[in-house]
């Protein structure tokens, strides 16, 4: 339920931010062409300049909300916990096993636990979208975090565990690389 709520709220704002970024690029190109063709004082150039200003205001407002430090810290903790849980779930060999143990070797040498089939794709999609957002709009976030090594190791473990299984590979990589 938490991932669904996250998807409906924060993820929705990220989609809007991406759309606004594309629109800004399109309007900026049109403005540049209009200025080159008609001059800066032409009505079309002025209208495009005004429109660009409005879009930039929306962009900076959304970006400041989504890069608010406490939201990033809470999102990071949420997704770190989710990744840890999913890696643990993949690493247990029977559905009755309760103990949490360290993964000694990746990739896992056994078939995935059948409980993974009950995990909604939305959860993995949220994780991937969160990483894509950080790479695109706040790439320095992990550089200033104290637990950087732990987070990086967890991301690596998550990718290694879920990248191994053929049913996950296509969906995972197509989502991560935007195909």
Q: Write down the pLDDT at residue 32.
A: 94
**pTM metric for this prediction:** 0.67
CB of 3 within 8 A of CB of 82? yes
d(CA 91, CA 152): 19
Domain edges within the chain: 2-66, 69-176
- The rounded radius of gyration (Å) of the Cα atoms in the chain is 21
d(CA 105, CA 157): 10
pLDDT tens, 80-103?
888 878 877 777 766 555 555 555
Burial class (CB in 10 A: 0-12, 13-18, 19+), 117: exposed
Place of tokens 């195909």: 179
- The set of residues, in sequence order, having a beta carbon less than 8 Å from that of 95 and lying 6+ positions away, is 113, 114, 115
């Amino acid at each position: 339920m938490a991932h669904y709520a996250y998807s409906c709220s924060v993820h929705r704002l990220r989609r809007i931010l991406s759309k606004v970024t594309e629109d800004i690029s399109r309007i900026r190109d049109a403005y540049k062409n209009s200025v080159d063709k008609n001059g800066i004082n032409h009505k079309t150039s002025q209208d495009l300049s005004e429109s660009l200003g409005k879009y930039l205001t929306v962009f900076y407002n959304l970006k400041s909300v989504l890069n608010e430090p406490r939201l990033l810290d809470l999102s990071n903790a949420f997704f770190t916990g989710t990744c840890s849980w999913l890696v643990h779930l993949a690493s247990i060999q029977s559905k009755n096993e309760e103990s949490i143990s360290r993964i000694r070797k990746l990739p896992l040498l056994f078939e995935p636990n059948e409980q993974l089939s009950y995990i909604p794709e939305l959860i993995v999609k949220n994780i991937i979208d969160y990483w894509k957002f950080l790479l695109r709009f706040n790439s320095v976030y992990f550089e200033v975090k104290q637990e950087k090594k732990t987070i990086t190791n967890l991301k690596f473990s998550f990718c290694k565990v879920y990248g191994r299984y053929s049913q996950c590979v296509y969906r995972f990589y197509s989502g991560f690389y935007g195909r």
